[in-house]
A and B are shown apart, each in its own frame.
Chain A
């Protein structure tokens, strides 16, 4: 699959994952407001990063530029994903049902894996720089 096509699809998947987090934020808000806030912050950061990336890759013609842009945004998604995995199961953000925290944890884990693959592919296939 061409890099352009791949990055569009993976960014689309990341976009869906961030929307899932926002939905979960709405669900947990009334149960634990601090959990709601943290889900919301992580979801919004992921959403903005992926939306901006999606918008920018549509405009960029040069594949290396596209790769660099992808690396930049995927670093943020990766870092915030790690924060999510570290925090969603923490006692301070506990809610009565553990299904929601585990779902959020899984969503973040997928976004971590996807962002690592995206960075790797951008460096290998688009000759992007790991540090832009």
Chain B
């Protein structure tokens, strides 16, 4: 599918949610890089860095961030290449190792409910909290009110689709990176120089493994669903390179910047620390755009997964799930003293499934299809009229086993990584053994039509 005229699909639901991205719609390396950076450029990452600053010295923070980011670089690089080759979203790619029903079910759980509604609501509520901490005495910054206007703002770019995400990232990412640097400056100034900063002991020291787990856990969801963005690349290598550069260089930079600020000021609320430190309007813009560039991606990914089984235009799905998320955030915001912690715990629970799904996807694409001697460029090559399984039971079993054993039984190591590695092992072992024994791993059959359904 290298030329426009080879594209035989009908994009019935918009934004190529169920069909491969055509050649004429593919974007430059810079565009893909910016969208990835838009996800990274968020207050949550800075808060993650702030948490590291409460547990480690500055040098340890850098080391922990580098190791955690290296793991994420490998995982995200592999999934980004899958998107670059198939040109399809994560949820369409999931049809191969899970079957059609499996991709709908798991996609809806991890991206539709968890990202599109759940995390969107949490981040919108968090936006309200941040605005309220910056402007405690004004009506428009009350948690519920700010959650409503902030949530609606975040919905706008997600409704537009990939172009909206890219547009916002172009605008917000460079200055967000600069503001993260301002955090380092304020940290250094407060600590009385760089030597002072490196000499500060953390308030509650933690082990190296705990730190790496936090870094990996913070962004593993993003690493698994990189195909949603990398499907837009012109060259297969653009997605993995863009992902690796942003995670290895810029994530480390942002985590270290936020940790420096926390070490020096003792405050984990980065936006507030920046405002108190004298960043002025920069702190406010950081709070607004930091949430926006990330949360529109949550909504976008959620809508992509819902569109695998809801037969309406993707933009209407985005509006629907966005309004539910805004409603939830506002409800929590208006309920004085309400905490979203139980809700966040539920989402964290759902998030444990995600690395297993990533592991199975990687195992199927790189290992099982290599074992089946399928050429790399032909893997996950969607065509109208092709047959796919309704259910691939090996994928389902692997996800369940990997999640339970890696998430709850094994107590050492990095939980998210344990789950993912177990997903890879279970899938490849069971699938190849079944292959050797002549046991079918596919149940049922579905024929893809020209709309990708």
Using a CB–CB distance below 8 Å, which chain A residues touch chain B?
Answer: 34, 37-38, 41-42, 45, 72, 75-76, 78-80, 82-83, 85-87, 89-94, 130-132
Contacts and interface: CB of A to CB of B under 8 A. Distances in A.
A38 B182 contact: yes
Contacts, number: 80
Interface string B264-290: 000000000000011111100100000
A89 B166 contact: no
B179 interface: yes
Interface string B170-202: 111111001101100110010000000000000
Interface stretch (B26-34, B122-130, B319-327, B377-385): B26-34
Contacts of B278: 90-94
Contacts of B181: 41
Contacts of B170: 75-76, 79, 131
A41 B167 CA distance: 23
Given A79-B172, A80-B174, A87 B27 contact: no
B166 A83 contact: no
A86 B282 contact: yes
Contacts of B446: none
B12 interface: no
Contact of A83 (B27, B163, B178): B178
12 contacts: A34-B189, A38-B185, A41-B181, A45-B174, A78-B171, A79-B174, A90-B279, A92-B186, A94-B278, A131-B27, A131-B166, A132-B27
A132 B25 CA distance: 10
Contacts of A75: 170-171
A130 B282 CA distance: 25
A38 B186 CA distance: 12
Given A90-B279, A90-B282, A92-B277, A41 B189 contact: no
A40 to B, nearest CB: 12
A31 B28 CA distance: 42
Contact of B178 (A41, A78, A92, A93): A41
Q: Would you call the interface of chain A mostly helix, strand, loop, or mixed? A: helix
Contacts of B285: 82, 86
Q: Lowest 4 CB-CB distances: which A-B pairs, in order?
A: A92-B278, A90-B280, A83-B175, A91-B278
Given A72-B30, A82-B171, A131-B170, 6 more contacts: A83-B179, A92-B189, A130-B163, A131-B162, A131-B166, A131-B167
Q: Would you call the interface of chain B mostly helix, strand, loop, or mixed? A: helix
Nearest to B232: A131
A99 to B, nearest CB: 18
Nearest to A74: B170
A90 B275 CA distance: 9
A78 B174 CA distance: 9
Interface string B109-134: 00000000000000000000000000
A78 B171 CA distance: 7
Contacts of A45: 174
A66 B185 CA distance: 38
A83 B171 contact: no
A72 B31 CA distance: 9
Interface string B1-40: 0000000000000000000000000011011000000000
Interface string B409-422: 00000000000000
B185 A80 contact: no
Given A90-B279, A90-B280, A132 B28 contact: yes
A87 B167 contact: no
Contacts of A34: 185, 189
Given A75-B170, A86-B282, A131 B163 contact: yes
Contacts of B27: 131-132
B175 A79 contact: yes
Interface string B150-170: 000000000000110011001
Interface string B55-66: 000000000000
A122 B256 CA distance: 38
Nearest to B186: A92
A104 to B, nearest CB: 14
Q: Most chain-A CB neighbours within 10 Å: which of B166, B186, B280?
A: B280
B261 to A, nearest CB: 12
Contacts of A86: 175, 179, 280-282, 285
A75 B100 CA distance: 40
A102 to B, nearest CB: 14
Q: Most chain-A CB neighbours within 10 Å: which of B166, B174, B281, B285?
A: B174
B281 A76 contact: no
A84 to B, nearest CB: 8
